[in-house]
Amino acid sequence: MTSEKPGGSCLYEFGKETALPFDIATDGHVNLLTKFDDWRKSQPDKSAFIFLVSEKEIPLTYGELWLLARQAAAYYREHLQLSEQPLALLLYPWSPEFIISLLACLMANIIPVPSSVPLRRDQAKRMEGIINDSGAEIILTSESGSEIIGNAAKSYGVPVLAADWMTDRPLQMAPEKLYYPEKKTSSGESVAFIQYTSGSTGNPKGIVVTDGNLTANLRCIEKAFNLSDKTTHVSWLPFFHDMGLVGSVFGTLWCGGTAVMMSPESFVRRPWKWLQAISEYKADVSGGPNFAYDLCVKRVQPEHLHDLDLSSWKVAFNGAEPVRKTTLDNFSKMFAQVNFFGGSFTPCYGLAEATLMVSSSAVGSAPVVAHLDADALENNIFLPTGEENSIRVRDVVSSGRVENDSIVIVEPAQKTILPDRVVGEIWVSSDSVAAGYWKGDDRQNKDFCCHLDASDRAYLRTGDIGVISEGEIYVIGRSGEVIIQHGRNIYPGDVEEIISASVSNIASRATAAIQLHSDADRVIVVQEISKRSLNDSEFVNIAYNIKNISARDLGLYLDEVILVPSGTIPKTTSGKIQRNQLAQNIIYKNCDILYRLISSRRPGNDDRVKS
């Protein structure tokens, strides 16, 4: 790859300390900006980020990034008519400009609200909802971002500032006007940013992450992954997503390492480029949810493995709920030939309401996997069995050790802690737990401050289902998505994994199992398929195959099997299926249906409906 420096005729010469005539007053509180300040002083010429763009690399050093962010912060405060602590919506295509603007907001006492550029109608609707909910005073974007937003931004009723801070247009700003709010870092109570949820289980909500929340979580990540200024991290994760924002961007600046960044679109188109970047830069940390590893297994070809060496990869984190054993096994088996060590897999658990990380398995040790009796699990009992690879055995992967009582399994109606090996709802108590939802009232924020009986300790009610056994936390699913049939608790992930593995030769990977509680509790499997080379009779065979597999392997009788085109099942940016949105799309007929099999649940009485 060739190397390019940022466009560079900024007003101040990089690395000249005289351009910064003041220091940061911390009053003893260490946060992201004070850590960043330390690193830019001690290693100004070290690359904080290296952006991979069209076979070129664009490095951005700690010193350069600091000055660019300071100039942007000064511009925001000098030229924008904003309130004392305004909200700014960061609406950037993947680019260094996002990171510069993000840090500038933190420096200028502007609360950043990171989000994605709306490329589709549903994204535009979500964006409008975020603007209305947040009350953002301005949209910050780049020149290319403004072209994408276009006239649609006018309907938002919010002004747009498009600026490319890395271009050759200098900011005419005197050094004494470089802005930094006095005592911005004096405590952990100020708002660092607002993270809107992905909407996998409902409407997006703005989570208020304070300075203290962010600091606590970055320390947690640093300890869990053994991060340091020697760390090299490769990331394709979206900047506006909590895993990419906190883990990749903020985590790098906190620890003083280097992050090699590739765009999410580049990864999806050519996933082998992710592995090649890990190999070339000898990265020790990188990861993503299940689908990232699954995509590599599916798309990487033998010719992509030439000169690939993954021996440096020590922390291959997987942040999914739940982490799939088949994902770990398939990836390890395929890439062992290029020196990937299966023990590098580091399953972890987190959510935006807790800033990011809640727990993580130990670095360097093989993931802990439990083989459970499926019947017992459906009755909320964690019962290990000696069997493996059996239809009635469920493999669950631990997401790490539980320290003291920071994570508990609760019976939410009774607000009591459940004993080990009993499945319940996961509650979390830590300094990383966010302050609540933006503009949320007591009713909306009640899940952030739950109390057990006879306890003053506050917990976050996560809505995730899990179990603790021998000090390990296992995440099994979401409480609102559990399929209940004849008194059995069946987890959609189990249904989806078994079905997608059985139809993978003719269908895409995307399978979704949902229960429509508004329609007689009907159980439905939605399967994406490729229309190429398939005729009507093959549609029938696929639908019946899914129905029979569900009944035979899971004892789950399906009311409907719906075949849809590839790309129909809505997902978050981290690959989570948006089951509530999918249910709404089906109810209100907002998706294309290739074939629909409706069953009466009695063998021989099926009514096939072709759409």
Task: Return the SS3 of 264.
Answer: helix
pTM over cut 0.75? yes
Between CA 584 and CA 600 the distance in angstroms is 22
Are residues 277 and 307 in contact, defined by beta-carbon separation less than 8 angstroms?
no
Checking if the pLDDT of 400 tops 80, the result is: yes
The pair of three-digit structure tokens given for residue 78, joined into one six-digit string: 């000098």
Instruction: Report how far residue 417's alpha carbon sits from residue 427's, in angstroms, rounded to the nearest whole number.
Output: 9
Cα→Cα distances 218→30, 252, 402, Å: 11, 10, 18
Domains of the chain: 2-259 (3.40.50.12780), 485-609 (3.30.300.30)
pLDDT score at 286: 98
Tell me, what's the pLDDT at 40? 96
* 220: nearest Cα among 451, 430, 522: 430
* Maximum distance among all Cα pairs of the chain, rounded to whole angstroms: 83
Residue tagged 């070339």 (tokens)? 280
Amino acid at 123: Q
The lowest-confidence range among 315-329, 334-348, 530-544 is 530-544
Please say if the pLDDT value at position 248 is more than 90: yes
Burial status of residue 128 (CB atoms within 10 A of its CB: 0-12, 13-18, 19 or more): middle
Q: pLDDT at position 23, please?
A: 35
Mean pLDDT of 11-18: 29
pLDDT surpasses 80 at 209: yes
What is the layout of strands, in order, in the sheet containing 87-91?
111-115, 87-91, 138-141, 160-162
Least trusted range by pLDDT, from 19-33, 34-48, 481-495: 19-33
Max avg pLDDT among 217-221, 444-448, 478-482, 562-566: 217-221
Q: Phi and psi for 591 in degrees, rounded to 5?
A: -145, 150
| 243-205-81 Cα angle (round to 5) | 95
Say how far apart CA 272 and CA 286 lie, in whole Å.
14
Query: Position 389: which residue type?
Result: N
* Per-chain mean pLDDT for the chain: 85
**Range list of H helices, 240-373:** 242, 251-255, 264-269, 272-280, 290-299, 325-335
Q: What are phi and psi of 104, to 5 degrees?
A: -60, -40
N- to C-terminal Cα separation, the chain: 50
Sheet with strand 507-516: strands edge to edge: 507-516, 522-529, 560-565, 595-598, 607-609
Q: Which residue has the tokens 């690959």?
A: 575
Secondary structure E strands in 244-382: 258-261, 285-288, 315-319, 345-350, 357-360, 369-373
What tens digit of pLDDT does each residue of 27-52 get? 456 899 999 999 999 999 999 999 99
pLDDT of residue 11: 29
Binning pLDDT at 50, 70 and 90, where does residue 202 land?
Answer: low
More confident residue, 200 or 253: 253
100-114, 209-223, 328-342, 380-394: the lowest-pLDDT one: 380-394
pLDDT digits (tens, 9 = 90+) for 449-471: 999 977 789 999 999 999 999 99
In this predicted structure, what is the pLDDT of residue 315? 98
- Asked whether the predicted pLDDT for residue 96 surpasses 60, the reply is yes
- Mean pLDDT for the stretch of residues 415-428: 96
Tokens of 9: 């005729």
Amino acid 148: pLDDT:
74
Handedness of CA 123, 114, 206, 221 (dihedral sign): positive
Question: Where does 133-220 show beta strands of DSSP type E?
Answer: 138-141, 160-162, 191-196, 206-210
Identify the band that residue 172 occupies on the pLDDT scale cut at 50, 70 and 90. Answer: very low
Cα separation values, 297 from 271, 315, 325, 555, Å: 9, 18, 14, 30
User: Does residue 6 have a cis peptide bond before it, meaning omega lies within 30 degrees of 0?
Assistant: no
For the cut 60, the answer to whether the pLDDT of residue 212 exceeds it is: yes
DSSP designation for 141: E
The mean-pLDDT minimum among 341-345, 538-542, 600-604 falls in 600-604
State both tokens at 512: 């979704």
517 pLDDT higher than 70: yes
